[in-house]
Copies of this chain bind each other. A is one copy, B any other.
Amino acid sequence: MKEHVRPLPTYLVQRYLGWKATTYAENRSWYKRLAEDGQRPRAMIISCCDSRVHVTSLFGADSGEFFSHRNIANLVPKFNPDGDHHGTSAAVEYAVKALKVSHLIVLGHSQCGGVAGCHAMCTGHAPELEEKTSFVGTWLNLLRPGYEHVKELPEAEQVAALEKQAVMISLENLMTFPFVQAALEEGDMTLHGLWHDIGSGGLSQLNPATGEFEPI
């Protein structure tokens, strides 16, 4: 590995030094306390890796506020304690059991390349994702059941609808974790489903009564 490791690009070094001399310098006492007392985030946010989803900016959040897991298409698999490595399930377990977050938020978004890829798979347009060796394809299989709920829609609406299915399936899968279920039933935690429209800056939330995402 060593022959491929490089120093951080200079522009990032410069910007880091700028952060150190401003944001850090102005908040030194808070960072020190965060280090000494540990984190105590109020919420966990599960969102997509997409570079356009800027969670902390969207919610004016500073260091210490959100425990943040990000994966392709903000998906949560079902509870499956088979002894394998499950990064998402581990993050959820840590947030709920160790950090005892009060809110578990799943945030989907528009123009999601992952969701579009799943839609392409489901409609037979992405054979390369259906190959067993594709981690992206295998991961997106988690979203396949959602296609059943959107396939009757006009084609132009299917991908956006599937983005919202990604949020709902993740919320449903979260319910299969006994510790999530317990925290919810104890009233220690609530669930939230959001969908963010990149271009318009919109934010919709799942209304559980209707199953629809309604603009905030």
Interface residue total, chain A, C-beta cutoff 8 A: 129
Please tell me how many copies of the chain the complex holds.
4
Contact between A15 and B13, CB atoms less than 8 A apart: no
In angstroms, Cα B15 to Cα A64, docked, is 16
Instruction: Using A11-B62, A69-B71 as known contacts, say yes or no to A190 and B4 having CB atoms under 8 A apart.
Output: yes
Residue in B1, B13, B15, B91 whose CB lies within 8 Å of A174? B1
Q: Decide yes or no whether A124 CB sits under 8 A from chain B.
A: no
Q: Which A residues have a C-beta under 8 Å from some C-beta of B?
A: 1-44, 49-52, 54, 56-72, 75, 77, 81, 83-95, 97-98, 100, 102-103, 105, 110-111, 113-114, 132-136, 138-142, 168, 171-172, 174-175, 183-184, 187-194, 197-201, 203, 205-206, 208-209, 211, 216
- Residue pairs across A and B with Cβ atoms less than 8 A apart, 16 shown, are A4-B175, A4-B190, A10-B26, A15-B18, A17-B18, A21-B22, A28-B190, A28-B201, A31-B198, A32-B102, A32-B187, A35-B200, A51-B65, A71-B91, A77-B85, A90-B138
